Amino acid sequence: MKIIKKGKFEKTWTKRYKCTGKGHGGGGCRAVLELTSDDLFLDYEYADSITIHFECPQCTSVTKIPTNDVPDKFREMIPRDYKDWKHNQERGAKK
Ligand SMILES: [Zn+2]
């Protein structure tokens, strides 16, 4: 994704991950992906435990990333579940 005009945050969170399927039974394609906070969605493994995940665009495997990798201010922008994230993605693609 390319930023044409930056939003209210000065910096965009980006980090590279390998598609490993970690936390989802493995099976990732090992693609190396550079993510932004727009690529992430939350999940609740336990009642009060938030986890952060992304879906690989190549093989659609889901990989869990360490929650602490994402600074608080970006964590607040992450959709609360996969359904929400998918909805955002589809809405964004139609623009
Ligand atoms: Zn993959």
Ligand 1 midpoint to CA 40 (Å): 15
**Global confidence as pTM:** 0.82
Ligand 1 midpoint to CA 39 (Å): 14
Ligand 1 midpoint to CA 23 (Å): 14
Per-residue pLDDT of the chain (95 residues; tens, 9 = 90+): 888 887 765 578 999 999 999 999 999 999 999 999 999 999 987 767 889 999 999 999 999 999 999 998 898 889 999 999 999 999 887 65
Ligand 1 midpoint to CA 50 (Å): 23
Ligand 1 midpoint to CA 8 (Å): 31
Buried b (16+ CB within 10 A) or exposed e, 54-70: bbbeeeebbbbbeeeeb
